[in-house]
Amino acid sequence: MTELWTALQPHLSFWIGLAWAAYVLWLAGWIVMQKREPVATLSWILSLALLPVAGLVVYHWLGPTRIRRNRIKRSQARARMGELRLGAQQAHEASPLMRLAEAASGFLPSSCERVKLLVGGAAKFNALVDAIESARYHVHLEYYIFEPDITGTRIRDALVAKAREGVKIRLLVDALGSAKLSREFLAPLREAGGEVAFFHRFRLRRLWHPRLNLRTHRKIVVIDGSIGFTGGINITDTENEALREDAFHDLHLRMDGQAVRWLQLAFAEDWVYTTGRAAQDADLWPQMPNGPIRAQVLPAGPDSPWETIHRVMLGALHRAQKRIWLVTPYFVPGEAARLALTSAALRGVDVRLLVPRRSDSALVSAAARSYFDELIGAGVRVFEYPRMLHTKALLVDSDISVLGSSNFDNRSFRLNFELCVLFEDTGVATALESVLAEDLSHGREVHGQRNSGFWRELGEASARLLSPLL
């Protein structure tokens, strides 16, 4: 054995080098066939070449093959919806922007009777409890974060009371975001007849196939098929300023009318995908007349290659003539978004960006600041909100509003399951303008070239390198 090792030792580096070269060539072919952006493709190849074993594991967990496998699973779930999708189809007059959204998502333009903006968690939770108490047939909820705290207990108890009355309760939560939910906390709801499911639940037997990077970030509530809630506010004390002075500042909305049927469809698809059981209630799709507010539900996620919310936002940015106001807690734009924002500012559009001065992710905050000089140089006005801002909203001109769960970053546009609503209505835009103008008045405007120091600028530039993963 010693003699064999001695004979092989002079050639060991050659064989290791040959094995590494073969590995890199095989890996490069695999990744190139994913047909991602050239920069992302080269980044993955270089990273995995330098980390032969660990890199391969990371790519398997986080890379595009994981997304494609889940895309197939969700397409199968959609196929099982069949007649339910037909029951939700009521077309409404469509603008070019809405036709883009329809082609990318498969969800048709619709309308609302009423839309009410809910500023802050206290307003949202009060409105939600009132709506739950009015339910006669069913209450469907889907959340990224549902915590067993004071706020979560209040919502759970409202659901338990309705379940005891015979109202059908279905609660779908993300397994990672709502990891604090225990069997004991959920027991009263289940004992009352409510159903609970966890999206992409972690299981030891699937250790090689975790879904840690593919989360449902949606916030959906549908009551009796005619009342809907969506936006950015999770069910947690962290977003309830009635309980905490440092609560996240956020925005939600209640919508009544025909468009709620599309919220229902988004929830129903996620429910059957997660549980394997389709909701078969007879009252899921109530008939409603067209309302005066043009609206379109925008579901997006890694089950679709079209990045619906991203495309609609870019379409709205390119359409802008007078105003673009963008509010987001996480601002990590791609090249197309940066070009759209700076081009709009250069052609004289009033472009304003509002982000938190310090978000709950130091890395994302640093990456966001690395773009400020370019934006300001083009004429974009950048504002920093004094505390954690969790609002996700886009206001364009006097009629376009996009509200929902999606941040302005790669993770929301490509990896998370998100949901927003596009409104083409001057009334909704005016209401949103009032909310955002108030928020902008509390922000500090960032001016000119920032003297943040060498080390801070280096940190921001380094964080920017990770933008595709943030």
> Which phi and psi (to 5°) does residue 404 adopt?
165, -145
Task: Please compute, for residue 264, the number of CA atoms within 13 A of its CA located in the half-sphere on the CB side.
Answer: 29
b/e string for 322-334 if b means 16 or more Cβ within 10 A?
ebbbbbbbbbbbb
Which residue in 200, 219, 249, 252 is the catalytic one?
219
Structure tokens given for 222 = 């549908």
SS3 256: strand
SS3 352: strand
Which residue in 224, 250, 270, 303 is the catalytic one?
224
Which of 231, 199, 193, 224 lies closest to 212, judged by CA? 199
Residue 217 among the catalytic residues: yes
Task: Please compute, for residue 417, the number of CA atoms within 13 A of its CA located in the half-sphere on the CB side.
Answer: 27
CA distance 309 to 71: 17
Within 10 Å of residue 53's Cβ, how many Cβ atoms? 9
Task: Please compute, for residue 429, the number of CA atoms within 13 A of its CA located in the half-sphere on the CB side.
Answer: 17
Residue 224 among the catalytic residues: yes
β-bridge pairing 114-119 and 251-256: antiparallel
CA distance 451 to 448: 9
C-alpha separations of 32 from 21, 28, 58, 419 in Å: 16, 6, 17, 30
Which residue in 140, 162, 200, 217 is the catalytic one?
217
Task: Measure the CA dihedral 457/462/467/469, to 10°.
Answer: -150
Angle at 344 between CA 342 and CA 346, to 5 degrees: 70
Task: Please compute, for residue 295, the number of CA atoms within 13 A of its CA located in the half-sphere on the CB side.
Answer: 29
Which residue in 249, 392, 409, 439 is the catalytic one?
392
Which of 378, 387, 314 lies closest to 350, judged by CA? 378
Taking a C-beta distance cutoff of 8 angstroms, is the pair 340, 302 a contact?
A: no
Which residue in 390, 409, 425, 439 is the catalytic one?
390
Residue 392 among the catalytic residues: yes
* Reduced 3-state DSSP string for 131-180: HHHCCCCEEEEEECCECCCHHHHHHHHHHHHHHHCCCEEEEEEECCCCCC
CA distance 107 to 104: 8
CA distance 407 to 381: 19
Task: Please compute, for residue 377, the number of CA atoms within 13 A of its CA located in the half-sphere on the CB side.
Answer: 9
Residue 447 among the catalytic residues: no
Q: Which residues does the annotation mark as catalytic?
A: 217, 219, 224, 390, 392, 397
